Amino acid sequence: MTLSAHLPALQVVVPLVAAPLTVLLRGGRLPYLVALTSSWIALVIAVLLWRQVDSGGTLSYAMGSWPPPWGIEYRVDRLTAFLLVLVSAIAALVLPYSRASIEREVPRPQHYLFYTMFVLCLAGLLGISITGDAFNIFVFLEVSSLSTYVLIALGRDRRALMAAYQYLIMGTIGATFIVIGIGLLYLMTGTLNLADMGQRLAEVQGTRPVLAALAFLTVGISLKLALFPLHQWLPDAYTHAPSAVSSFLAATATKVAVYVLIRFYFSVFGASQVFAHLPMQEMMLLLALAGMFAASTIAIFQSDLKRLFAYSSVAQIGYIILGLSFNSINGLTATIVHLFNHGVTKGAIFMLLGAVAMVMGGSTLARIQGLGKRMPLVSIGIVICGLSLIGVPGTAGFISKWYLLLAAIEQGQWWLVFLILLSSLLAVIYVWRFVEAAYFREPRQDIDATAAVPWSMGVPAALLVAATVYFGLDTSFTIGSASQAAAALQGGLR
């Protein structure tokens, strides 16, 4: 029995086993150590899987030894492997960060429950990425969503409870829409296996239940990925959740929802069916542009940094969906690579904001005046990530914008090129608000800012900021995986 043959199953099982273990091992350091070990093992498994897929092609694993399409199949192709590495890497960095961070934000008796929910969320997100069965996607989606609601509700402020409740209502409606879509697809094809469904749908293209399923799935997944008009839950959730939770969610939750959308669009429906029968291209273009501009504009007027960068997330998701609407290899590459780049950037920003909140007692623009003098390294980190959000060359964000512009230029849409550059200017404005408050104002004397940021928080944040710069200069991993995945998806292969 070779362990490497069972890696797909172990990818989900290792965090899943850690959850009941943390519940049983209540107090002391053990829950933290169990959660940390499981997330690092998950990262190792994800890297091993990526290397197997890179050299060997798509992996297939039959759960329970029931052959697909009768049984549940775990399929690892290039897009999946890429996403697994992102999610497990972010989790492996956020867990050490969270140890010191939740000391101040979550009551001590609930710490072991925090770790339980964290590894459950990780298991759910990894499961969504790796499974090849439609209903299994829904089950893992709900596992990760329910643990997310709990994680958000652990925030200090009572508004965290209301934010979690709003997210619960909207997220459950989204998940139920996804179930309706999957049900209609099951009724039309008789199978739940994604690859099999894709083949059988070719015979019933364009029929009304299939179009209805496409509509339900799109709206449901859009609620989960916070596409423009359905983004209402995101600002409150990211602002009032504990900093470690904001960092983890901003980097992973919406990205996995984008993965589900890509998987359904290209591997089940097929690009031609999606864009031919319904005006998906125009709709996604409109909503993406609306999100980019509206969210960036609202971000400019925020006074709380966490809220500002939460709206920035909505704008960046607009970029991701914009890439999808091009229906071209460059556009899809831009989408997939921005999943990674934005995940790394936003993860870093929220980690740094957590450190700021810990030292300065809050993260509003009024409190962080003079941050450049009080916390110089943290300020530089936030500025670097801000540059990545704008898309300055030398940072990861530039790579994604570059491919977006390439996709727009090759389709001759010069007005789109202009709009993308214009929205980057809006990003400059909201990043400038931070720079102005941090570097051009004097620090307030009434705030005691003598607390030091511990190593366990500083090192993961520094690593993510370094990654933001590194993946802007060396794109072999990100663009290599993304372009190969995009080519495979666009070509109808799986």
Partner 1 sequence: MTIGGHFTYFITIFLMIAGLFIVIARGNLIKKLVGLGIFQTSVYLLYLAPAKLVGGTAPILSPAFTIYSNPLPHVLILTAIVVGVATLALGLALVVRIREGYDTIEEDEILALDAARDREAQAS
Partner 2 sequence: MKNDLILRVIAKLLIPFIVMFAVYVQFHGDFGPGGGFQAGVILAAAVIFYALIYGLADARKVVPESVVESMMALGVLLYVGVGIAGLLLGGNFLDYFVLDPDPVHGQHRGIFWVEAGVAITVSGVMLKIFYMFADRGKADE
Site string for partner 1, 138-157 (x = CB under 8 A): xx--x---x--xx--x----
| Site for partner 2, residues 379 to 398, rule: CB under 8 A | none
Size of the site for partner 1 (CB under 8 A): 26
At 377 the three-state DSSP class reads helix
Tokens (6 digits) for 64 = 């329970």
Which of partner 2, partner 1, none lies near 429, with the C-beta cut-off 5 to 8 A by kind? none
Nearest 5°: the CA angle 20, 84, 283 is 115
- Counted residue by residue, the chain has a size of 494
Q: How many CB atoms lie within 10 A of CB 328?
A: 18
Closest to partner 1 by CB, 50 vs 238, is 238
- Residue 86 Cα to chain centre, angstroms: 9
Q: Which stretch binds partner 2 (CB under 8 A): 9-17, 29-37, 184-192, 368-376?
A: 9-17
Tell me the three state secondary structure of residue 226. coil
Which listed residue (58, 172, 199, 205) binds partner 1 by CB under 8 A? Answer: 172
Strand partners for 131: 74
Instruction: Choose one: 6-14, 35-43, 162-170, 406-414; the region binding partner 2 (CB under 8 A).
Output: 6-14
Which one of 24, 44, 169, 286 is in contact with partner 1 (CB under 8 A)?
Answer: 169
Structure tokens at 258: 């984008």
Closest separation in Å from C-beta 359 to partner 2: 35
Nearer to partner 2, 135 or 293 (CB): 135
CA distance 487 to 179: 29
Our finding on whether 179 is near partner 1 (CB under 8 A) is yes
- In the bound state with partner 2, the residue whose beta carbon lies nearer, of 64 and 412, is 64
Written as six digits, the tokens of 211 are 């179009």
19 scored as a contact of partner 2 (CB under 8 A): yes
Helix boundaries (H) for 241-375: 243-262, 271-277, 280-300, 305-325, 329-360, 371-374
Q: Please state, in angstroms and as integers, the Cα–Cα distance from residue 140 to each residue in 133, 195, 272, 433, 460, following that order.
A: 11, 18, 28, 39, 27
Candidates 57-65, 259-267, 369-377, 383-391; binding stretch for partner 2 (CB under 8 A): 57-65
* CA 125 to each of CA 35, 87, 136, 256, 343: distance values in angstroms, whole numbers, following the listed order: 15, 7, 12, 7, 14
- The site for partner 1 (CB under 8 A) is made up of 135, 138-139, 142, 146, 149-150, 153, 158-159, 161-162, 164-165, 168-169, 172-173, 175-176, 179-180, 183, 186-187, 192
- The site for partner 2 (CB under 8 A) is made up of 1, 6, 9-10, 13, 16-17, 19-21, 23-24, 61-65
